[in-house]
Structure 1
Amino acid sequence: RQDVVDLVASDTPQERIGISVAQSLALKGYCVLRPDVSEAHLENVLTDISLLESEERFAQPPTMIVEGLLGVQGSAKVCELEPSPGDLASKNDGDNVAWFDSQMTEIGFKVAPYLMGTVGIEVVTRTPGVLHQAGMPTDEGPELTGESCAKWVQTFAHHRIMAVWCLGPEKGGLEMQPFDDDCNSTRVSMEPGTLVLLRPDALQHRFSAVGKAYCLTTFYQKE
């Protein structure tokens, strides 16, 4: 178990954030960040999420895709955000959800220029954000439809970096393990506000929480 944060945004010059994240991804396959986020943003985003829940925007995802998301316990229910121009969350998802979503785009812009030189990968775009509710599913997930299958196959085929942002209200843990089963797994403790960037092509990744917790994710893609 690790409670180590690799990079605290408020302590790091803006021009160093991108290269620092890329170097961490090259060294161990992930980077734990503490972005500069106010308590008010974290409180208000939960209000937005409650509204999305009341609108029944959250649903259990097909079982066949959850391992590509945050695992059975990390993605008990998901809410796919509505993309607007630029692939950002729309105002229909709430101003605070849209703010966190836009910050993930900004992080991508900072990191992308350094990925080829450090990790040997290229990212040029990102997927619309997805909110995840942690917990234990009450039953089997729905069948995977042809349309949904095509969408997720496309996503998983082109993803290079995954961003996982814990929004609270409780903390959780992100377990990551190289696909080589002989390697030990690493569990990173994620307080609300913690952001992890990881290489989904190299690491299995599963989020879980004892209490109530939500995450926001996106994939940075090659195309």
Structure 2
Amino acid sequence: QPSYTVDGVECKNYKGEYCGAFSRARDVFELARDAGAELVIHAGDLDYESSPTSWLRFLTEEAFRPGLGYLASQGNHDVDGWDGVSDLWSGPRGYKALLSRQIPRGASCRGSYGEDYACEYKGVLFVLSSVGSVSPGESANRAHYDYVENALRTSDAKWKICVWHMTMNSLQSSYKGDATGFGIYEICRKYGAFIVTGHAHTYSRSYTMKSFGTR
């Protein structure tokens, strides 16, 4: 069955197969544009087709050409090797290479796109991390912890927002397990940052946290 088109080209996944009859992501971007949003922040798992080229075409049509900015963190479905695509994230035509060329106008960014990445846009600091996406646990993600803390500590932005994909089981309302460690949450809380995560396919939010501790 013919697929929906992305920037005039039929969407195909990593196997060269059609993506499907419709795109729910298109509805999300339409909603963002209708609301007057200037920037979309994507907390990982970019397209579920493992096709960076198709995703770039989609973004060109739905975001970049209409003037909507876009930044993303790396999710577990975006890492090298997912769906057997060895260079899905880090290859010359991978997500990182394609998206790092599309920095929103007016944003000041530094670091490694989607992995350890800090962007300030109109007085708001976004710190995007791939903590837990490749390997779970605090010890495996210490470098991500250090990057996030340094980015928050050295910024004088009034508003700070931490963004990553993976979660801890007790900090989401779905069935997802532990991946990031509690420490990364505590770092962002310490610097007064909002925390936005993905992975769990639900929408939920918490009260202001005084401490995350270890559970």
TM-score of the two chains, using structure 2 as the length reference: 0.30
Higher Cα Rg, which structure = 2
Which structure's residues are more often strand, by fraction? Answer: 1
Which structure's residues are more often helix, by fraction? Answer: 1
TM-score of the two chains, using structure 1 as the length reference: 0.30
